[in-house]
Amino acid sequence: MAQILFTARHGGVSAGEFGSLNLGDHVGDIALAVENNRKILKNLLSQVSPVFMNQVHGSEVIEVDSNSITPVSADALITREVGLPLAVLCADCLPILIRGSKIVGAIHAGRKGLLNGIIKETISRMRALGGENLVANIGPAICSKCYEVDLPMYLDAVSHESELTTNPETHCLDLKRAARSQLSAQGVKVSDLEICTAHDSNYFSYRRDGVTGRNAGVIVLSPNIVPATFNGILYYFC
């Protein structure tokens, strides 16, 4: 069993372009505000602080437990420890939360991560550690209509991952379709919230706003699922 949540931008204490539940400590927000926002998140997780990572758009996958020195530089975290939340921060990239038998994982997947094989690497590591019956949840992220890149970048990306292809005239990439395809190819069941961060002002979006905060996806391996509600956080439980 696992508890999964994706945050929106409401219900925190940050101001201005970071208003209000910004969970990123690297975007220029006031440090104390971010600290208090993370305490709000912690309060929703049975007073256990999530494990965050320094995301580098690579393919590094790290297994953590409550004794790990964090944050670590990686783009995916996995754990077999019950009750330890894993967090991924995004403002257009895909937050992918994966649950299986006795293991969970959190992936940060942008264009570079998808091309670098972060999904395949994470699934391989989870299965090597005994993970079975894996299911993935894709949270709020930029849609194919909003993620336009320059032509050279578009041609390079689609030459390596055809599922990124949309309309060559607009040079937009379909990150979600590529992620769904890669997960399915690994035999993982996929659920997609189908929320576009750039379209929906309830979420932080770097592509829309430039200077902005970060949404979070959090997953925790848990034997006891307790429903909860909160202004600004979308929950569902598995």
Is residue 221 within 8 A of residue 83, CB to CB? The reply is: yes
Q: What confidence score (pLDDT) does residue 229 get?
A: 52
Q: What confidence score (pLDDT) does residue 203 get?
A: 97
Is residue 24 within 8 A of residue 214, CB to CB? The reply is: yes
Q: How confident is the model at residue 117 (pLDDT cuts 50, 70, 90)?
A: very high
Q: What confidence score (pLDDT) does residue 227 get?
A: 45
Q: What confidence score (pLDDT) does residue 167 get?
A: 85
The answer to whether residue 195 scores a pLDDT higher than 60 is: yes
- Span of 12-16, 68-72, 115-119 with lowest mean pLDDT: 68-72
Q: What pTM, to 2 d.p., does this model score?
A: 0.95
Tens of pLDDT, residues 127-186? 999 999 999 999 999 999 999 999 999 999 999 999 999 988 899 999 999 999 999 999
Q: How confident is the model at residue 237 (pLDDT cuts 50, 70, 90)?
A: very low
Cβ partners under 8 Å of residue 187, min gap 6: 134
Instruction: Please count the structural domains in the chain.
Output: 1
- Number of Cβ within 10 Å of residue 194's Cβ equals 10
Enter the DSSP assignment of 16. Answer: G
Report the CATH number that the domain containing residue 148 is assigned in CATH.
3.60.140.10
Q: Which domain holds residue 193?
A: 2-224+232-237
| Mean pLDDT along residues 45-73 | 95
Locus of tokens 């979006």: 205
The answer to whether residue 228 scores a pLDDT higher than 90 is: no
Q: What confidence score (pLDDT) does residue 58 get?
A: 95
CA distances from 23 to 33, 158, 160, 219, 227 (A): 9, 32, 32, 15, 22
The answer to whether residue 238 scores a pLDDT higher than 80 is: no
